[in-house]
Structure 1
Amino acid sequence: MHNRSPLPHRDGVAPSFVVLPEQGDWPDLLTFLLQRFPFLPAGVLQQRLANGEMVNQHGQAVRGDMPYPRGGRLWYYRDVPDEIKVPFEIDILHRDDRLLVVDKPHFLATIPSGRQLRETVVARLRLQFDLPELTPIHRLDRETAGVVMFCLHPPSRGAYQALFQDRLVKKEYEAVAPWRADIQLPQIRHSHIAAGATWFTMQEIDEAPNSHTQIELIRQLPFSQKSDPNPQLALYRLKPHTGRKHQLRVHMAGLGIPIINDPWYPTPMGDKADDFGSPLQLLARSVEFIDPFNGQLRQFGSRRNLILTQT
């Protein structure tokens, strides 16, 4: 199997690919692609093929009328029309031979996904520092700001990712949410998080816990949320012991204190345009771990503050 792309990165973005199944009955390549990408108009696919914009593992352009080529992959550059510019910058926290650690702003995705392609941390960094092999070691939600680690040396990536997989990285977050006197803190929220009712959201269900978050009150805030029936706000420290999708957001909503400006929890508000003036009040404050290559304690902390905690 040829898995290495024959195409270089373009504008900091890696090419995409589509796998060609060994099993299937398609008379030609275009018929397969129309079935694989039903959301794309036939004319768009035909034009891309005519322009030579899809290539095989050897870098050779393919035609729509050619017999279906079983096995392998086709490579192409994905396009996102009218991609919205995120008006915030990435701050560099640390760089050495293996690691690049950054302070991610709100609204900027870690990697290309959906409608975000060039407006992502990895694409910006690859382009800014000419680092085509830069890869993320872990990720943050697009709406979340804070510390993210990237690997500069591809052979070292697995060792750092293993730290996260084996839960050897201490992660701390901060969040602004409503304050409630009836919630006893600190506490550990245990629950089973599974796919939610929409394509994007998650939910807690009545099964054996698969997620654990320690939740602490840092302090009550001298601000109020006038639109909320319980307007008093507080700053919380969140320490996830597991890494489920949207775990912190689901756990806070499950406690009845959803994070301020969360567009998906507890009630999804739909896929609407970002309000850059009202970011999710969630920050990846710090990461701490023992470096697998030199045995040293590594600690990286965000220099950002949540808007509602600034004075």
Structure 2
Amino acid sequence: MSQSVRAAQASYIVLPETVTDKPTVLSFLVSHFSAIAQTTWVERIENGKVHWRDGELITLESEFVPRARVYYYREVQQESIIPFEEKVLLQNEQIIIAFKPHFLAVNPSGNFVNECLVNRLRIKTANEQIVASHRLDRATAGLMLLSLNADTRHDYHQLFKTGKITKTYQAIAKLSDDLISQVTANTLTLPTHWTVKNRLVKAEPSFMMKVGTGEANSHSEISLVEVNNGLGLFELTPVTGRTHQLRVHMMSLGMPILNDRLYPKLLDKAADDFDKPLKLMAKRLAFTDPLTGEQVDISCDGFLL
């Protein structure tokens, strides 16, 4: 652990046009980031840690300018080191496809400012333009596509926005009682498949999701492909990309993913247990490169059951 860690890369926020009651940048930052004390923002500004896009320092009196970018450096008192390495599987002039290990955040978040995939790859490649093209939970391992070039970033982001990329996951979960009975009776046929469509809405606390009523806004295709000693190995293809979709859909089948600390029950916050990672992995990405027309189909090593 290290004390008072500052992010190596600046974060930024665009000052919104809809805000009209904040005369200074400071007053906006204090209002917008309610979890950060005003004294912290004052200290950051006085120490030259907040600036405009061109590098000019923001002062305590700097006026609020709609649509302007304000850059700042996230800080935490302590940052844990994640003892697992990422691995680059493909790299060209436009993109990197990398394996992200369990517990490593994609971007700075929570108590992690430098221990994240984007920062590690920026250091390795000496390219500060690296940006993730999609999301992957810190708890989930697997393949990430990252953009290296700001000029072509939109092309790769659109693959996910328009559904022109295939993402295949693996998960391990305890079998339901019904499936265990079929295994015992030697009547289970593999693969066994489920199509899961339902409406996902925010739960309490707000970072969690639950199945609600109304028209479906989520869709996953899930197959049980292997069983061993009461556990099942599943292949999952999310057709939509809702937050925690696969975790909630597995729970809705009565088979929450092994070592899930959120579903079906939110466990108390605790230090990472590196011996018990969430058994969920983004195993495969397949798409047509929007610039070259090349077929890209990359997989990483999956789970052993």
TM-score range, shorter chain: 0.7 to 0.9
> Which of 108, 114, 120 is the matching residue for 2:110?
114
What amino acid is the match of 1:178? K
96 and 49 in structure 1: CA distance in 2 versus 1, 3 angstrom threshold: closer
Is 1:61 paired with 2:47?
Answer: no
Answering whether residue 287 of structure 2 is matched by residue 292 of structure 1, we say no
Residue correspondences, number: 288
Write out per-residue CA displacement over residues 160-204 of structure 1, whole angstroms, 9 at most, x where no aligned residue.
221211212111111000113636931101111111111211111
Shift of 1:61: 2.1
Which segment drifts farther, 21-30 or 255-264? 21-30
Measure how far apart 1:95 and its partner are.
1.0
Partner of 2:208: 201
Query: CA deviation digits over 1:44-102, x for unaligned, max 9?
Result: 222222222222344322332x2643423432211122011111000111111212111
Q: Which structure 2 segments of 5+ residues have no match?
A: 1-5, 180-187
AA at the equivalent of 1:55: H
> Is 1:216–2:214 an aligned residue pair?
no
Pair 1:99-2:95 in alignment: yes
Q: Distance in 2 between matches of 1:177 and 1:170?
A: 23
**1:275 aligned to 263, 273, 276, which one?**
273
With over 3 angstroms needed to count, the CA separation of the structure-2 counterparts of 1:58 and 1:188, relative to structure 1, is: same
SS of equivalent residue, structure 1 residue 182: helix
Q: Where does residue 253 of structure 2 map in the other structure?
A: 255
| Structure 2 counterpart of 1:149 | 145
Pairs within 5 Å for 1:135-146: 135-146=131-142
Structure 1: runs of 5+ lacking an equivalent: 1-9, 223-231
CA RMSD of aligned residues (A): 2.2
Distance in 1 between residues matched to 2:147 and 2:203, nearest whole Å: 32
Match of 2:262 among 261, 264, 276: 264
SS of corresponding position for 1:82 = strand
- In 2, the alpha carbon distance for the partners of 1:33 and 1:147 equals 34
C-alpha spacing 1:237/1:36, structure 2 compared with 1 (3 Å): closer
Taking structure 1 as the reference length, the TM-score comes to 0.85
Instruction: From the superposition, tell whether residues 36 and 210 of structure 1 become closer, same or farther in structure 2 (CA, over 3 Å).
Output: closer
Aligned counterparts of 1:287 and 1:35: Cα–Cα separation in 2: 40
Give 1:63-82 correspondences, 5 Å limit.
63-64=59-60, 66=61, 68-71=63-66, 72-82=68-78
Separation (CA, whole Å) in 2 of partners of 1:147 and 1:33: 34
Partner SS, residue 122 of structure 2: helix
> Would the aligned equivalents of 2:168 and 2:236 in 1 still touch at CA under 8 Å?
yes
- Tell me how far apart the structure 1 counterparts of residues 93 and 148 of structure 2 sit (CA, whole Å): 7
Quote the Cα distance in structure 1 between the aligned partners of 2:92 and 2:62.
49
